[in-house]
């Protein structure tokens, strides 16, 4: 069986519409806030809510490695703490591994894919996902749940 995930590919995030470009720019601006002294793999995620607010979060590593938290889950937690009931319309994710050269966007880890799926179920509406790089390609998925076709759903 083969799965096809519909992805819109762009050479750079400057090709996006103004709202999406602003979201990626916010994630890029917040990359220095990531705490990644062990992996040097910095990730930032910015979200746009249905009330117009934009929030962001960065990965936070810990010397006890399993205790760290990914940028996607940091910002989703911030939504529920500061904007209960708000719906996430879109999320931009940008990473920087500290290495030179061309990079492709990095997709969320499995745990974050499940968290995104849970958010979509929780808010009963879809969520766009924008995966970008600092100066390179950007991929846009209309549905974040496309990244996890066999997602776990406790409510089923």
The pTM of the full predicted model, rounded to 2 decimals, is 0.93
Q: Note whether residue 107 is domain-resident.
A: yes
Q: Is 143 exposed, middle or buried (0-12, 13-18, 19+ CB in 10 A)?
A: middle
Does residue 94 lie within any of the structural domains? yes
Other residues' Cβ atoms within 10 Å of the Cβ of residue 152: 9
Residue 73 lies in a domain: yes
Tokens for 58, please give them: 């960065």
42 pairs with which residues across the strands?
Answer: 96
CA distance 143 to 49: 15
- Beta strand 88-96 pairing with 128-132: parallel
Is 72 an annotated catalytic residue?
yes
Tell me which of 15, 72, 100, 104 is the catalytic residue: 72
Q: What is the per-residue pLDDT for 95? A: 93
Helix (H, G, I), strand (E, B) or coil at 76: helix
Domain that holds residue 34: 18-147
Asked if residue 63 is part of any domain, the answer here is yes
Query: Considering the domain boundaries, does residue 84 fall inside one?
Result: yes
Looking at residue 32, its pLDDT comes to: 95
Residue 101 has a pLDDT of 64
pLDDT in tens, the chain (156 residues): 677 889 999 999 999 999 999 999 999 999 999 999 999 999 999 999 999 999 999 999 999 988 999 999 999 999 999 999 999 999 999 998 777 766 889 999 999 999 999 999 999 999 999 999 988 899 999 999 999 877 767 665
Q: How many domains does the chain have?
A: 1
Within a domain: 77: yes
User: Residue 89 domain-assigned?
Assistant: yes
The CATH number that applies at residue 92 is 3.40.140.10
């Amino acid at each position: 069986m083969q799965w096809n995930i519909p992805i819109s590919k762009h050479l750079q995030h400057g090709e996006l519409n103004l709202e999406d470009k602003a979201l990626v720019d916010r994630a890029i601006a917040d990359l220095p806030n990531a705490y990644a002294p062990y992996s040097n793999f910095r990730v930032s995620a910015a979200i746009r809510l249905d009330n117009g607010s934009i929030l962001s979060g960065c990965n936070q590593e810990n010397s006890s490695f399993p205790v760290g938290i990914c940028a996607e889950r940091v910002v989703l937690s911030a939504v529920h703490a500061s904007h209960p009931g708000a719906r996430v319309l879109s999320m931009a994710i940008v990473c920087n591994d500290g290495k030179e050269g061309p990079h492709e966007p990095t997709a969320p880890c499995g745990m974050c894919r499940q968290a995104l799926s849970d958010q979509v179920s929780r808010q009963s509406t879809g969520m766009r996902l924008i995966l970008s790089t600092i100066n390179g390609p950007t991929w846009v998925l209309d549905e974040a749940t496309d990244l996890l076709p066999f997602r776990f759903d406790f409510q089923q």
